[in-house]
Structure 1
């Protein structure tokens, strides 16, 4: 495979399933990343969501801080600039963000670890467009997991009842303009994602770079109609590194480009909080012995990682 991350057409999952699954699996084994086009989410829906998110980030700082919940690990609502720090990094990331989670009933067994959403009164349409995009990406993520399941010999619907109440997060991010040339921080330090898979919508602005197996940083600026989907640490652990969770970062642009804000909206697809992440026997072999003899729940793993990145 060349040093170009593949972009695949997901409609082939219906029209040419075996070939699509094989190509997708190969892309993830090599890169942990792929672009997905013809994903079925209308550009107008994406634009409407970006519009309300930008309107929120344009509010005065004191207004935004009304929606910050100290001690919550940023689980819902607003996390201000200068908090999240990539694991093992000296400097915090240059970003502020908001978290939208799954809407669940108050009597759900997961309510203690999945709090209700917060919605900013000051931004009309925030809930409608924000949660609408959440649901669209959740549905697309389920299709991606079906294809990945088939690739490693699992039934197509294996993930369905393990993610139907997943603690998944939609994270609108604002990277403010960089106004000084000697800033030691980067917009997002080199990191891996915590969850099963991440779907990044509207990431057409440059800056995302993926670390190849050869140790080279490969820029991945997708076309406007492409959603970037990458493997997270939970799926890497579940599949015993058959699917690698690849290190990536968001670099600071050069010159005048740095003076512009950047927005992106990743959707972090998580399993249900009580799902036990235990290495799949399908992914263990003489050449790939189990790396994780001790299973861990998705919630336990999440809390462990949130402490590492300074959110808890």
Structure 2
């Protein structure tokens, strides 16, 4: 398996992209409409925030799940007992956000959600007829007016050598949502698992954007689009002393959306959050 960047401006971009999602669960796009200057500004602003004491003034709300999640309560991936080496901030337009960071992060939230909705339209257009018939409504409509889509600002701190044995920045996991959109940041470490169990590096060239299928779309498509395991491994050499900011947007449908005969979006989300130990 090899992941290669697809030109968003190419005539057959949608078809290439959807085929990549079907085969691998991941797609990488270049020449996309997300403003890279905005992304760079956000990386800089939030790097300063995570290195300040201000972050502790925005402790997360247990019920609404917005705000700052410190490293000591970081997620433990399903099937693992060791917490990931990361801290993060959950951004929702209705949630708590540091005032000095509000403008750029909400601008990005809007752009990324609009882009993700377009990609969902691509997916529906190029789904086989028997798969498209499984969708209870248009995929792009599932996220229309949703207040559940989560922008997570992740901070992977520098490695100190005191990390718990077996801990990595993000253990192998699948995402819960419909579609995840992640701008590449010129930092290696993100890997996707091939069908043979081997791990493949995801292209991290700055300017690319990485998209992967979440469990909810796998459920809604009857498994046609796979929610593929991925992880973020620890850096080597001098890169160990560097921190890393990551900006995944987890696009979620409205809670009442019916994914399949087995789940609504809300039911699926609650089940997975309990498995993760978040609630």
For the 8 Å contact 1:69–1:78, the answer to whether it is kept is yes
Using the TM superposition, give the Cα deviation of residue 55 of structure 1 relative to its aligned residue in structure 2, in angstroms: 2.0
Structure number with greater Rg is 1
Q: Once the two structures are superposed, what CA deviation does each residue of 1:192-229 show, in whole Å capped at 9, x if it has no partner?
A: 00000100113320000100011110011321110000
CA distance in 1, matches of 2:58, 2:88: 11
TM-score normalised by length of structure 1: 0.82
CA distance in 2, matches of 1:32, 1:82: 31
The answer for the alignment partner of 2:241 in structure 1 is: 259
The answer for the alignment partner of 2:43 in structure 1 is: 50
> CA, structure 1 residues 70+170, in 2 after alignment: closer, same or farther (shift >3 Å)?
closer
Give the RMSD, CA atoms, in angstroms: 1.8
For the 8 Å contact 1:141–1:269, the answer to whether it is kept is yes
Moved over 3 A (4+): none
Using the TM superposition, give the Cα deviation of residue 66 of structure 1 relative to its aligned residue in structure 2, in angstroms: 2.1
Gaps of 5+ in 2: none
Secondary structure, aligned partner of 1:277: coil
> CA, structure 1 residues 70+138, in 2 after alignment: closer, same or farther (shift >3 Å)?
closer
The answer for the alignment partner of 1:298 in structure 2 is: 265
TM-score normalised by length of structure 2: 0.91
Q: How many equivalent pairs are there?
A: 270
Using the TM superposition, give the Cα deviation of residue 70 of structure 1 relative to its aligned residue in structure 2, in angstroms: 4.8
Using the TM superposition, give the Cα deviation of residue 182 of structure 1 relative to its aligned residue in structure 2, in angstroms: 6.5
> CA, structure 1 residues 170+70, in 2 after alignment: closer, same or farther (shift >3 Å)?
closer
For the 8 Å contact 2:180–2:211, the answer to whether it is kept is yes
The answer for the alignment partner of 2:155 in structure 1 is: 174
The answer for the alignment partner of 1:20 in structure 2 is: 13
Using the TM superposition, give the Cα deviation of residue 181 of structure 1 relative to its aligned residue in structure 2, in angstroms: 6.8
Higher relative contact order (CA 8 A, sep 6+): 2
Q: Once the two structures are superposed, what CA deviation does each residue of 1:29-72 show, in whole Å capped at 9, x if it has no partner?
A: 21100111111122111112222211211112xx3222113523
